Amino acid sequence: MNDRHEMPTALPEGPASPPRRRLLAGSGAAAVVGLTGGRTVAAHPPATAGKAEPEGYQDTGRSPWGYDTWKEATPAPPGIRPGEQVLPLRPRAYTDVKSYHAHIYFDEDSHAKAARLRQWVIERFEVELGDWNTTPRGPHVTPSFYFGFLPEQLAVIYPWLQLNSLGLTILVHPNTDDPRSDHLYYAGWINRSQAVNAYGWAEGKVAELQVEKIYPNIKPSIRPEV
């Protein structure tokens, strides 16, 4: 189940406009809140059928931001990439990697390639295959599917994916006790990289029990070509 990526971590409050903040605060559980680019938005409008329009939607004829935003100095944002703030004194042990995920990204023009690659994987590798995600899911901002595998399979699966990517964008990330770094800092990419929105995830380590484990659900029928 790759919805484990949708981790219940503390999400930063985005720069919502004053009416938006009032709307979110006032609608309570009725607003399903999602993240888009680190910004908090209401995925669905609150249930207000039959009621007056929420205060936040009223047209006051004035900008909710006020008229002094042009005066703001350019701020220095905090660093967002793991490992940048303090140099580690020693390297991490590679044995900290408990499993790997390969995320294969596609779109409306390349889904047939994704289907072909998926079928090839099913035939050849004993992996944990997830379902199709036809919309963004977790930190993955385009449609994708994923499969998980063990560290001892990396030496075969990584070059196999390099030679059989069909041009798709593929993320191969390890699973350690630091999921945020796994996605943002320890990532390997085939062909090219794309955005992975894990910046809102909590920094630091998770309990050992929470490290991604792999339970293969595919029985291959073909040995990989050599």
**Residues of this chain that bind Zn ion (CB under 5 A):** 101
Alpha-carbon torsion (11, 79, 21, 40), positive or negative: negative
Considering beta carbons, is residue 101 or 180 the nearer one to Zn ion?
101
Q: Are strands 144-149 and 188-190 parallel, antiparallel or unpaired?
A: unpaired
Considering beta carbons, is residue 56 or 130 the nearer one to Zn ion?
130
**Residue of minimal Cβ distance to Zn ion:** 101
Q: Whole-number minimum distance, CB 171 to Zn ion, in Å?
A: 7
Considering beta carbons, is residue 101 or 137 the nearer one to Zn ion?
101
The dihedral region occupied by 93, where left means phi > 0, alpha psi between -120 and 50, and beta the remainder, is beta
Q: Whole-number minimum distance, CB 74 to Zn ion, in Å?
A: 35
Q: Whole-number minimum distance, CB 89 to Zn ion, in Å?
A: 28
Placement of tokens 């039959």 in the chain: 50
DSSP 6: S
Q: Which two tokens stand for residue 122?
A: 């099913």
Considering beta carbons, is residue 56 or 138 the nearer one to Zn ion?
138
Q: Whole-number minimum distance, CB 104 to Zn ion, in Å?
A: 11
Of residues 135, 132, 138, the one with CA closest to residue 212 = 138
88, exposed or middle or buried, with CB in 10 Å at 0-12, 13-18, 19+? exposed
Helix (H) / strand (E) element for 189: namely strand 188-190
d(CA 31, CA 24): 7
Considering beta carbons, is residue 42 or 218 the nearer one to Zn ion?
218
Q: Whole-number minimum distance, CB 150 to Zn ion, in Å?
A: 14
